Structure 1
Amino acid sequence: MPGAAAISFSGVDSSLSSLRNCQSYINTGMDIATRVALDLVESFNDVEEVDGVEKVMLEYAAMDRELNHYMTAIEETVHQIKRDKPENIPDLQYLVKEKFTALESKNSDSDLQANEKYTYFKDQLKEMRKQFRLQSGDGNESIEQIDEDIAVTQSQVNFICPITQMEMKKPVRNKVCGHTYEEEAILKIIQTRNQQKKKVCCPKIGCSHADVKKSNLVPDEALKRAIDSQRRQR
């Protein structure tokens, strides 16, 4: 548009960079909180203490959501201005606040529970309790609960990597199919197959997942701790 205002977005880019740094600190905090919770479960002090850590995780998730909304509001505002090319320089602060408020108005508790790191926290906590309940021979659970736990953890108590056929030292879990592998072994397969431009099938016999990606893999801290505990007992 002739005569459109020339707007510099260098300051905006700097602000976004700072916000991303803040987000990395939040992620680090959530990682630390997860490890603390697993430590509590491993030492069998996992009632009120773990509940307290979970509240901290939800607070982190809320901060992460707020940062995401703010960054989204900034990015959408910049995109809108670049697209519309207004003749007069608009009030960026007002436009960003307007979009941010609209995003925040849609907040719900389910947003926090869907946070990827919070989901990982809950999943690892559940697996950790199963692993160490099984190892401790805890008889305080109902028969139905024990049957369910044993059924779910049959594959978890198998500490052997399906690739190396050796006990795992650094297990990673496939978020898609739930199977675990030695990290170095599965990453080597993924790298080799990627170079061949081929997909990677899950190495676990009988698994139908035929497109394993590096992004599918997460550290299985609960399984690693269970393996380490068994190794110390031996």
Structure 2
Amino acid sequence: MNPPLPSQGGSDKQLDYLKSGMDINCGVALSLVSRILQSDPERSRAVQSLREGLSDYIRQEQDYKDSMEALRGLWHQVAQQVDQGDFSQVHEIDQTFAAVKERLAGPVTEIEIAKHPMIVQFELRAQNVCQGLEASQMEAGSGHSEDQDDDLETTLVSGDHRDPFTRKKLVHPVQNVLCGHNYERDTIFELIKTSSRTKCPISGCRNTQVIVANHLKADCKLKRLLAAD
């Protein structure tokens, strides 16, 4: 019988703690950097510090998962030997645990960290923060009201159309039907596939719901305008 480990049903408080730390780095901490720090070098240093902290959380998460997997393997191995009357490994439990864990995949690599969904989400927002774009969006959005919706539409018609996540020009725009904001199709679908907590990144947006596929529709009108530019 396997031990009643936290990952086998119910909430794992350690993983919840690590996930909360990642969420803070990707959300609140990045927002504070964009609001408080004024110069590009300051923002870049702060973002790098958050990036390193997020990477450390990812390493801790993988190490913890490996430890739980090793513990399950150890429990099964020792239980079998005890059932057979062999108690030798009971007195060498630490060494046996280390050996079982060593047979697992090992520490997470830098390439694996770079592909982690939280790092992908972080890097998309960090681009805006380092360029001071997110801060300017916050200032512009702080006084947003329903009366400004017409101004927003005018801006979309005549302005520079960029994806709010990557700041790249829109090519295949989709619209969030809950708030009317536009994103690049491939970018937003990749984000919601890798992170179930993705929300509209436009500062001042009153839509607080996480984005799901049925919130998005192709913006054919904007695509025609972009093609005409």
TM range (shorter): 0.5 to 0.7
The CA deviation at 1:98 is: 0.9
Seen in structure 2, the aligned counterparts of structure 1 residues 153 and 38 have a Cα distance that, compared at 3 Å, is farther
In structure 2, what is the equivalent of residue 20 of structure 1?
Answer: 12
- In the alignment, structure 1 residue 124 sits paired with structure 2 residue 125: yes
CA contact (8 A) 2:47 2:130 kept: no
In structure 2, what is the equivalent of residue 219 of structure 1?
Answer: 198
Q: Residues 56-205 of structure 1 correspond to what in structure 2 (within 5 A)? A: 56-79=53-76, 87=84, 88-89=86-87, 90-91=89-90, 92-103=93-104, 105=106, 107-126=108-127, 132=134, 152-154=168-170, 160-161=175-176, 163-164=177-178, 166-167=179-180, 177-179=186-188
List gaps (5 residues or longer) in structure 1. 1-7, 137-145, 181-208, 229-234
Number of aligned residues = 171
The CA deviation at 1:94 is: 3.5
Give the TM-score, by structure 2 length.
0.53
Give the distance between the partners of 1:29 and 1:122, measured in 2 at CA: 16
1:99-144: CA deviation from partner (whole Å, max 9, x where unpaired)? 21233646422233233322322233235667548859xxxxxxxx
Q: What amino acid maps onto 1:63 in structure 2?
A: Q
Q: What amino acid maps onto 2:99 in structure 1?
A: E
Other structure's SS at 1:178 match: helix
1:133-162: CA deviation from partner (whole Å, max 9, x where unpaired)? 8859xxxxxxxxx99989824379x7942x
Seen in structure 2, the aligned counterparts of structure 1 residues 68 and 147 have a Cα distance that, compared at 3 Å, is same
Q: What amino acid maps onto 1:103 in structure 2?
A: L
In structure 1, what is the equivalent of residue 49 of structure 2?
Answer: 52
CA contact (8 A) 2:25 2:50 kept: yes
Seen in structure 2, the aligned counterparts of structure 1 residues 33 and 66 have a Cα distance that, compared at 3 Å, is same
CA contact (8 A) 1:19 1:71 kept: no
The CA deviation at 1:25 is: 0.5
Identical residues among aligned pairs (%): 9
Q: Cα RMSD between the aligned structures?
A: 4.6
